[in-house]
Amino acid sequence: MGKKLVMAQKRGETRALCLGVAMVVCAVIAYYILGTTMLPLYQKSVWTQESTCHLIETNIRDQEELEGKKVPQYPCLWVNVSAVGRWAVLYHTEDTRDQNQQCSYIPRSLENYQVARADVEKVRTNFHEHRIFYCFSTTRENETTVLYRRLYGPQTLLFSLFWPTFLLTGGLLIIAMVKINQSLSILAAQK
């Protein structure tokens, strides 16, 4: 009976060690992926200065109002603000500016025009209710754009690193507990 118990205990220890090592390996892979994708985007972000923006005007733009330039057929919101002592155009995120420089906010759902228009109206109403809000500007001198929300800010980076850190800590704890258990059983066997 004792021999079967010892063999079962060794199998359990082996499985626990494999689980701990697998968790550590997965954490290392996740750190590598985040280090090659998220970290460079965080480091390249120039939108680091938090500022106070004062709403100047909002305008809902449709395709026909965009002076004959080729843009997608959806309504979008154009927002002008006063930030860092000068006039600026507010963009929702870094990606909004890349998608369409003539829109401060692009609705999520672009398939249905009425739903997109309602989304833009809702955002416009929120801006008019809260005329003073925080935004992010760059330290460059002649920059006339600001961001409402950073995609690659410190909170995003910390949130992305939470699960790999949890995996690494859990894996190391499992390995440490198995090793402590093995050394305690060796000490108990020697007595």
- Cβ contacts of residue 73 below 8 Å, gap of 6+? 63, 113
Write out the two tokens for 165. 């850190």
Give the tens place of pLDDT for each residue, 54-84.
888 888 877 554 555 555 567 888 888 887 7
Domain ranges of the chain: 49-63+70-152, 154-185
Q: What's the sign of the alpha-carbon dihedral 38, 39, 44, 48?
A: positive
Give the tens place of pLDDT for each residue, 125-140.
998 898 888 888 887 7
**Phi and psi at residue 72, to the nearest 5°:** -60, 155
Percent of all residues in the chain with a pLDDT value above 90, rounded to a whole number:
23
pTM tops 0.75, yes or no:
no
Give the pLDDT of residue 112: 79
Q: Which of 79, 82, 83 is nearest to 92 (CA)?
A: 79
First and final C-alpha spacing in the chain: 21
